[in-house]
Amino acid sequence: MTIVLFLDCNWQPLRIEPWTRAIVDCFRGRAEVIAYSRDRSISVVGGQLPMPAVVRVVRQFRRPRPQIRFSRVNVYARDAFTCQYCGERKFTEDLTFDHVLPRAQGGKNSWENIVTCCVACNHRKGNRTPEQARMPLLRTPVRPTFLPIVSVARRDEGVPAEWRPYWNGVLGEDN
């Protein structure tokens, strides 16, 4: 099945859909064709029509904000890979996370109770609260609304030539 790249009204990649969806959206006035396929066409009663390769959605809509999954790496990213007790920035393998309110005292695994911590501070704090250990937190832990670190993995060999101007423009890379 031939697929089409959908762009939002700001020319950012939105999704990939079958060509039939692109045709329907264009006929209904929801999208406009930006680029046609170089080697594919659609057979119709009167002959051949060019196959859309890239379409742009005409009207703007709100995207739901994705929930950030609670994980060790996301906690590290929220805290900028910095121990929340001593303030030292460390590599991932030198970090752990710490329950602000220890589990033995009823602490839960949540964004508001877990902080990034170096191994030395974690041992020093032990099974106590920061107040009991006299180790104040640099920042109070909160649920993040975004993460400052985003890694994007992509493979270019399967990307159609018609998509490349939009594909590269978003990621800021040249092939």
pLDDT at site 175: 38
Confidence of residue 153 (pLDDT cuts 50, 70, 90): very low
49 and 102 within one domain: no
Q: Which long-range CB contacts under 8 A does 48-51 form with residues at least 24 apart?
A: 51/2, 51/19
* Domain end among 62, 82, 97: 62
What is the torsional sign of CA 31, 36, 39, 43? positive
Confidence of residue 47 (pLDDT cuts 50, 70, 90): very high
Rounded Cα–Cα distance for residues 60 and 65 (Å): 15
3-state secondary structure of 164: helix
* 142 within a domain of the structure (yes/no): no
Phi, psi torsion values for 104, nearest 5 degrees:
-65, -20
Domain total for the chain? 2
Confidence of residue 157 (pLDDT cuts 50, 70, 90): low
Q: Which of 90, 11, 85, 116 is nearest to 54 (CA)?
A: 11
128 and 82 within one domain: yes
pLDDT digit string, tens, across residues 85-98: 999 999 888 999 99
3-class SS string, 101-163: CCHHHCCCCCCCCEEEEEHHHHHHHCCCCHHHHCCCCCCCCCCCCCCCCCCCCCCCCCCCHHH
Q: What is the CATH number of the domain that holds 116?
A: 1.10.30.50
Question: Over the Cα atoms of the chain, what is R_g?
Answer: 25
Mean pLDDT over residues 142-157, rounded? Answer: 64
- Tell me which residue range forms the domain holding 123: 72-133
* 26 within a domain of the structure (yes/no): yes
Phi, psi torsion values for 157, nearest 5 degrees:
-65, -25
Mean pLDDT of the chain: 85
Confidence of residue 142 (pLDDT cuts 50, 70, 90): very high
77 and 49 within one domain: no
pTM over 0.85, yes/no: no
pLDDT at site 93: 87
Confidence of residue 118 (pLDDT cuts 50, 70, 90): very high
* 156 within a domain of the structure (yes/no): no
